[in-house]
């Protein structure tokens, strides 16, 4: 992130035995505004991306990421330093975004119409030359919304693992660290979550 203010080198030198995340958190807890700015600039992109993958709406995703940052800041004193700070933030953001996804109402779908003009539709009217394929885009968006809704309906145990693995791009070992569970348990939850998701999506297609 450009313009990020790095933590002062002397501070790092004084605490060489600690991880950079711990140094960063300690500086923020001491009221260092530069450290807080550094953290926000470093993690905002990942948080917005994660929330967007869950919500599918950029405005909602930005609001969810900001809410997650506020929640994380308030609870920063309770961070135990197990696992990465980014993973901890991602877990908070995933919860916030999932809660918002459950509150979102059903999206009103646009009728695709037909390309020959017999059934005029805003989609085809927007691209009269037919260079793009708005119908395909609309169908893809519908499918994505369906998958997101299915993920949001998963049981908490499975959903958290699935979201952290696929939307936050965390490896399973890091997820196990963040959740405080054995790696085998995390694998099992992922397995069951994917099975449940697949069954639900297949059920919806029928």
Site for other proteins in 114-153 (CB under 8 A): 144, 147-148, 151
Binding mask 182-201 for other proteins (x = CB under 8 A): --x--xx-xx--xx-xx--x
- List the one residue from 64, 86, 152, 154 that touches other proteins (CB under 8 A): 86
DSSP secondary structure string for all residues of 94-160: HHHHHHHHHHSPPPPPPP---TTSSS--HHHHH-TT--S-HHHHHHHHHHHHHHHHHHHTS-HHHHH
Is residue 29 a contact partner of residue 76, using CB atoms and an 8 Å limit? Answer: yes
Judged by CB under 8 A, the residue of 149, 154, 162, 176 near other proteins is 162
Cβ atoms of residues 167 and 50 within 8 Å: yes
- The rounded distance, in Å, linking the Cα atoms of 124 and 7 is 53
Neighbours of 163 (CB within 10 A): 26
Strands (E), 30-112: none
Of 61 and 123, CB closest to other proteins: 61
Q: Which of 88, 124, 158, 167 touches other proteins by CB under 8 A?
A: 167
Site for other proteins contains 158 (CB under 8 A): no
Q: Does 154 bind other proteins (CB under 8 A)?
A: no
Residue 17 CB, shortest distance to other proteins, in Å, is 15
From the list 71, 72, 56, 49, the residue with the least C-alpha distance to 106 is 56
Segment holding 41, helix H or strand E: helix 33-55
The contact mask relative to other proteins for 3-32 (x = CB under 8 A, - = no) is -x-xx----x-------x--xx---xxxx-
Choose the binding region for other proteins from 58-66, 94-102, 117-125, 128-136 (rule: CB under 8 A). Answer: 58-66
**Dihedral sign computed on CA atoms, order 136, 137, 138, 144:** positive
User: Given the rule CB under 8 A, which residues bind other proteins?
Assistant: 1, 4, 6-7, 12, 20, 23-24, 28-31, 33, 36-38, 40-46, 48-49, 52-53, 56, 58, 61-62, 65-66, 69-71, 73-78, 86, 144, 147-148, 151, 162, 165-167, 169-172, 184, 187-188, 190-191, 194-195, 197-198, 201
């Amino acid at each position: 992130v450009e313009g990020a203010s790095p933590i002062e080198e002397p501070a790092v030198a004084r605490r060489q035995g600690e991880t950079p995340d711990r140094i960063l958190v300690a500086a923020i807890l001491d009221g260092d505004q530069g450290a807080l700015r550094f953290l926000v600039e470093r993690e905002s992109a990942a948080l917005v991306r994660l929330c967007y993958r869950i919500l599918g709406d950029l405005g909602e995703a930005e609001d969810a990421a900001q809410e997650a940052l506020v929640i994380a800041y308030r609870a920063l004193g309770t961070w135990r330093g197990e696992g990465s700070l980014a993973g901890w933030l991602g877990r908070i953001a995933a919860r916030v975004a999932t809660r918002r996804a459950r509150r979102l109402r059903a999206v009103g779908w646009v009728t695709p119409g037909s390309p020959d003009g017999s059934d005029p539709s805003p989609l085809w009217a927007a691209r009269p030359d037919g260079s793009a394929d708005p119908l395909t885009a609309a169908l893809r968006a519908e499918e994505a919304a369906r998958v997101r809704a299915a993920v949001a309906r998963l049981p908490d145990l499975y959903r958290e693992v699935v979201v952290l693995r696929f939307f936050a791009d965390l490896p399973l070992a890091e997820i196990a660290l963040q959740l405080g569970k054995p790696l085998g348990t995390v694998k099992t939850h992922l397995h069951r979550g994917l099975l449940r998701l697949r069954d639900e999506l297949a059920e919806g297609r029928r």
